[in-house]
Amino acid sequence: MAGAAGADGIIRVWGPVGAAEGVVGGGIGGIGWGLVSVLEGHRGPVAAIAWDPSSSRLLSGGADQTARIWDVPCPPPPPPPPPKLPWPAPQPPLPPMLTAGASAGSWRVTSSS
């Protein structure tokens, strides 16, 4: 998760999102980063923000002389990408084969089984 704040007094939090939620910056399998939370409450510019070690709370300090603690919901982790297929794809074993040939009036038949 990542947060940004500025002169408008609003804190914006970005985190991993799926394609249905509006992917920003590409991603793998439709998974990327997007806006997950907007925090409003300061009456002026926000001067600093900091995450607590669990990453579920954000501390902010503003020019309005207040410090706020925000509970930021963490989105669920995105699903894992689909498994990669081996390349080249494994081939099934070949069935037994018969071969035949003729030379000087005689036939010879062999089997690979």
Residues 23-52 pLDDT 10s: 555 555 556 777 888 999 999 999 999 988
Tell whether the torsion through CA atoms of 8, 46, 59 and 27 is positive or negative: positive
Cis? peptide before 16, omega within 30° of 0: no
Provide the residue count of the chain: 113
Structure tokens at 89: 């794809």
The predicted-structure confidence for 50-97, as pLDDT tens digits, reads as follows: 988 777 788 999 999 999 999 887 766 667 777 877 777 777 777 777
Other beta carbons within 10 Å of 36:
18
Q: Is the whole-model pTM more than 0.85? A: no
Measured between its terminal Cα atoms, the distance across the chain in Å is: 61
CA distance 44 to 83: 48
User: Do residues 62 and 40 lie in contact, with contact meaning Cβ atoms separated by under 8 Å?
Assistant: no
